[in-house]
């Protein structure tokens, strides 16, 4: 029997959406106010969804303390209260929330082995949410 577990985490970070491959005018046209040279911030809601068999002894898909500790060490410590543009993974990539979602998925997929990672979802605003499941992205 497979069950699904979704856990939410909160973090804050700033970014500027700007591509060096485009002119300043193109960047302003595509990214609008998100191309502000001083950047802007978000209070993100990260949701990690895992699946696996329910352990007959514990009654859980995975140990929540183990998941929380991993996310704290490997994700929140890296991204919370950071300017995403200054991080190595965004040295050649625009720090959109789509790209952030993919990076976080890869961190969890590589490092957390106590359950199967189904997807990562990030809510950037009340109107924007992004998901990545290892095969493709979708946005709302």
Whichever domain contains 6, its CATH number is 3.30.479.10
pLDDT for the residue numbered 4: 98
Is 62 one of the annotated active-site residues of the chain? no
Q: What is the CA radius of gyration of the chain?
A: 17
Number of domains the chain contains: 1
pTM: 0.94
34 is catalytic: yes
Of the pLDDT bands very low, low, confident and very high (cuts 50, 70, 90), residue 138 is: very low
- Find out whether 6 and 47 touch, Cβ atoms under 8 Å: yes
Q: Which domain holds residue 78?
A: 2-139
Among candidate residues 15, 103, 123, 124, the one labeled active-site is: 124
* Average pLDDT over all residues of the chain: 95
Count CB neighbours of 98 within 10 A.
17
In total, the chain counts a number of residues equal to 140
């Amino acid at each position: 029997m497979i069950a699904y577990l979704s856990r939410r985490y909160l973090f804050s970070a700033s970014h500027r959406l700007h591509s060096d491959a485009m002119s300043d005018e193109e960047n302003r046209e595509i990214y609008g106010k998100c191309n502000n040279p001083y950047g802007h911030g978000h209070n993100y809601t990260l949701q990690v969804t895992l699946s696996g068999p329910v352990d007959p002894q514990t009654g859980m898909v995975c140990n929540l303390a183990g998941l929380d500790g991993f996310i704290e060490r490997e994700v929140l410590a890296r991204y919370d209260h950071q300017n995403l543009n200054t991080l190595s993974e965004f040295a050649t990539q625009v720090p959109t929330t789509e790209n952030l979602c993919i990076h976080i998925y890869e961190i969890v997929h590589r490092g957390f082995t106590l359950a199967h990672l189904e997807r990562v979802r990030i809510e950037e605003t009340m109107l924007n949410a992004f998901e990545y499941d290892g095969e493709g992205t979708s946005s709302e």
